[in-house]
Amino acid sequence: MTAPATPAPFGARLRRAMDARGPLCVGIDPHASLLDAWGLADDIAGLTSFTRTVVDALADRVAVFKPQSAFFERFGSRGLAVLEDATADLRAAGALVVMDAKRGDIGSTMAAYADTYLRPGAPLFSDALTVSPYLGYGSLAPAVELARASGCGLFVLALTSNPEGAEVQRATAADGRTLGAAMLAHLAAENAAERAAGSPLGSFGAVVGATLGDLSSFDLATGGPLLAPGIGAQGATPADLPAVFGPAVRDVVPSVSRGVLRHGPDAAALRAAAERYADEVRAAVGG
């Protein structure tokens, strides 16, 4: 019997997707106010219509999608069924899915979260998962191990854009580094082997807010991707990226949610907004 092929690492697939489709991640955040703006009810029918419209309009042309799991979970099992279908359809269209669930726990519970999103064949199997390391970076080990085995990736919360994040992420650890800097260093170590083997990008990324301004005091060159929320409705623009990310700007995966989604439910307007953001990012980062 022929052994199954080793999956291509997430980082390599991510670089190919962004080169082919443009350096953009579109968030899928069906919160109540956005459903209302689309003329949809805040119920399972509205959720289904919203999600189906986004998938049909953009799945074959945007590199990365980031569904926010909480906005589906609030509808219970029926909401999760919508998320399962969307995840499968996006991946079938050639897009990469980063599940924005921000999971973080210890031991067997962290392993169960990893199985939910990173084990091939799972109903919510995704290309990557956002995770919280603030029970200690080592608590992420089950997710790191399964991601590596499955050809998936992780995005670890490092320097988030919410003001409250600084209380933890910029606190000083025993070795004198801030906790955010420590997380970036852990990720550089995770990516070292992939990069040494010739991968254009490691599979273990950081979440770093695009609204944070000058981050030159942090070493953002982890060898992996930098998922950058905050563009669009939160105030950052693609033109801000070089000043925020410096030499690591080519590794940025800019994430836009409302900046694209507010143009729905018209499919052509959604596509035009996504294309405009991708073009602006290319111009800003020289990609």
Closest listed residue to residue 67, CA positions, set 105, 95, 46, 37? 95
Query: What does the DSSP 8-state code read for residue 68?
Result: B
Instruction: Please name the residue that has the structure tokens 């000058």.
Output: 214
The whole-angstrom separation of Cα 221 and Cα 245 is 9
Active-site residue, 66 included: no
Closest listed residue to residue 202, CA positions, set 8, 10, 5? 10
- The type of residue at 11 is G
Closest listed residue to residue 65, CA positions, set 78, 79, 77, 51? 51
Catalytic residue among 16, 91, 102, 271: 102
> Cα 94 vs. chain centroid, distance in angstroms?
16
* Catalytic residue ranges: 102
